[in-house]
């Protein structure tokens, strides 16, 4: 429960960055849908990591899973933003 709350707080903190950037530049233009998708990605990835690694004692395995999750999250985020591989979901 405590880790889940930390995941939600971390996701909210990360989502403050584009919100603040929108106040200072026209280059960042997110709408409610963008914040919803980004929040779902962040919270979903974080909670999945917490659930899968809850009983793991080996720090090396936890770190490996965390790095893999972070890499997948970044790849999906970049694909949605700029279309690295050109899927229909890309932001182009």
| 87 occurs within a structural domain | no
Using one digit for the tens of pLDDT, what is the confidence trace for 1-57?
A: 789 999 999 999 999 999 999 999 999 899 999 999 999 999 999 999 999 999 999
pTM of the model: 0.86
Using one digit for the tens of pLDDT, what is the confidence trace for 46-57?
A: 999 999 999 999
| 67 occurs within a structural domain | yes
| 90 occurs within a structural domain | no
Query: Structural domain tally of the chain?
Result: 1
Query: Domain limits at 51?
Result: 2-82
Six token digits for residue 91: 């932001």
Please, what sign has the CA dihedral across residues 70, 87, 90, 12?
A: negative
CA distance between the termini of the chain:
38
């Amino acid at each position: 429960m405590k880790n889940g709350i930390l995941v939600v707080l971390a996701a909210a903190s990360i989502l403050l960055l584009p919100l603040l950037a929108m106040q200072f530049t026209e280059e960042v233009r997110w709408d409610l849908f963008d914040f919803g998708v980004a929040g779902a990605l962040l919270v979903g990835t974080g909670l999945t990591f917490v659930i899968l690694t809850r009983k793991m004692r080996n720090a090396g395995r936890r770190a490996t899973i965390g790095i893999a999750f972070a890499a997948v999250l970044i790849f999906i985020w970049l694909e949605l933003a700029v279309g690295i591989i050109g899927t229909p979901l890309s932001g182009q």
